[in-house]
A and B are shown apart, each in its own frame.
Chain A
Amino acid sequence: MRGDAKSMTVLSPRSDAEALKTYAKFPGAIPFAGGTDLMVAWNLGLLNGRAVLDLSRVAAWRKIQVVSDGVDLGSLTTHVQIQAHPILRKKFPLLVAACATVGAAQIQNRGTIGGNIANASPAGDTFPALAVYEATVRIAAPAGRRAVPIADIFAGVKRTTLKPGELIEAVFLPFVKTPARGVFRKVGTRAAQSISKTVFAGLIWTAKSGMVEEARLAFGSMAPTVRRLHAAEAFLRGRRLNDVAIAAAAELMSNDVSPIDDIRSTREYRLAASRNLLVAFLRGKGDK
């Protein structure tokens, strides 16, 4: 059975306060932002009879605000808005690059950063970038507001740690010191419209001596949720990036990721491709 429009209840709050109030009243409603994932499920007939909380009129959550210590992305910010923003292009190029690889123009014009997070796909392309920028997810509920690190918002495949009645209102990106280099790389079947086999973001800061001050390395599609390579990051701190150190860091990757075989790729391919991405980045090759 296809999606049956007559079976749906549409709730259309006009403000953030009204959205929270309506969601509290209809806890079974599905929050609905750009619809690029939700409508696919609906078209297949999987959501008939449900209520949707259409957030598209909540103007307060559609803004990008530059503040003193970072940038606040309203949860309804689209992938196109992120790519077009001059401060984001300058300060958070890995996120901009990630947004450019999500689907194609039609999806990037509709898909939102908050919807992307709430959908919690293991293959979410923006997540490795958000992870290395140590973004914070700002959450609103009738009882009050809270913020959690991006790493703590994902509970598993398609599951978040959002509690009943909570909605994502923004993603906060703290400014970082300009890194020595940074890279975003996605491996898929083709450049557009494909879901990642593996997706990587890396930032590295080095001292004048070449010693690593800090490395932030994150993979998507390599575990149920986005993963930072904590073991490799800790190992690299204080070391020079020679072949021995790079090989040892690559070995440590398996402490933090464990990919699966699925329709898009195999565990073996994912491990090999990810290792190559990591090594290329640490060697300073393939940077953008």
Chain B
Amino acid sequence: MIKLTVNGKKKTFTGAPFKRLIDVLREDFAITGTKEGCGEGECGACTVLLDGKPVNSCLVPVCQAEGRKIETVESLGTPEKLSKLQSGFLACGGAQCGICTPGMLITAHAHLKSGGGRDSKSVRTALSGNLCRCTGYQDIVKSVISAARSRKK
């Protein structure tokens, strides 16, 4: 039995310990905001925070999440009350097809929360493990910077 905390709630998993964290989140816990892109740690679509740090959930077997804190895109806001970052993506057109968006949001959230730079270069470096195949990087970076500014106010 594996115990972990997901978005502040204590969870228990009793299946195969080598099941990938992304599959446990989506199939066992029905927390489906996190998407799978490549399944080989290249695209960052499946990024979640493990003890506050971005990791690819397709490369983490749930046995290595035992006793640890997981945060997914669902921890950011709700449709009724979006987080500033989510509002930034909405305002600046940061989402196109949407598959990379949960990973972009949670990675950017970790970057801003940890006091990372709000300039374009810092944001681009922070998001360099998150690929967008709609080629929407300009607006994604704009979204993060605009959200960072509104956070500061």
Which residues of chain B are near A52, meaning CB under 8 Å? 18
Residues of B within 8 A of A87 (CB): none
Within 8 Å of chain B (Cβ to Cβ): is A191? yes
List residues of A whose CB falls within 8 A of some B CB: 3, 5-6, 8, 10, 12, 35-36, 39-40, 42-44, 52, 54, 56, 80, 103-107, 109-110, 191-193
- When chains A and B are docked, how far (Å) is the Cα of A104 from the Cα of B56? 10
Q: How far is the CA of A105 from the CA of B23 in the complex (A)?
A: 21
Asked if A193 and B129 make an inter-chain contact with CB atoms under 8 angstroms apart, the answer reads yes
Determine if B61 and A106 form an interchain contact, defined as CB atoms under 8 angstroms apart: no
Compute how far the CA of A191 lies from the CA of B125 in the bound complex, rounded to whole angstroms: 9
Q: Mark B131-143, 1 if CB is under 8 A from A, else 0.
A: 1000000000000
Return chain B residues, CB-CB under 8 Å to A103: 41, 129
For A104, the chain B residues whose CB sits under 8 A away are 44, 128-130
Are B54 and A109 touching (Cβ within 8 A)? yes
List B28-71 residues whose CB lies under 8 Å from chain A: 39-42, 44, 47, 50, 53-56, 58-61, 63-64
Residues of B within 8 A of A (CB): 15-20, 23, 39-42, 44, 47, 50, 53-56, 58-61, 63-64, 107, 125-126, 128-131
Per the bound structure, the CA–CA distance linking A56 and B66 in Å amounts to 10
CA distance A5 to B126 in the complex (A): 31
Q: Is the CB of B18 within 8 A of A106?
A: no
Instruction: Report chain A residues within 8 Å CB of B16.
Output: 5-6, 8
Most A-side CB within 10 Å, residue of B16, B64, B130:
B64
State which of B19, B60, B125 has its C-beta within 8 Å of the C-beta of A35: B60
Name B39's closest neighbour in chain A (CB-CB).
A43
14 CB-based A-B contacts, threshold 8 Å:
A5-B19, A8-B18, A35-B59, A35-B60, A36-B59, A40-B40, A80-B53, A103-B41, A104-B44, A105-B53, A105-B107, A106-B54, A106-B56, A109-B55
A5/B61 in contact, CB under 8 A: yes
B59→A5 contact, CB < 8 A:
no
Residue of A nearest to B64 (CB): A56
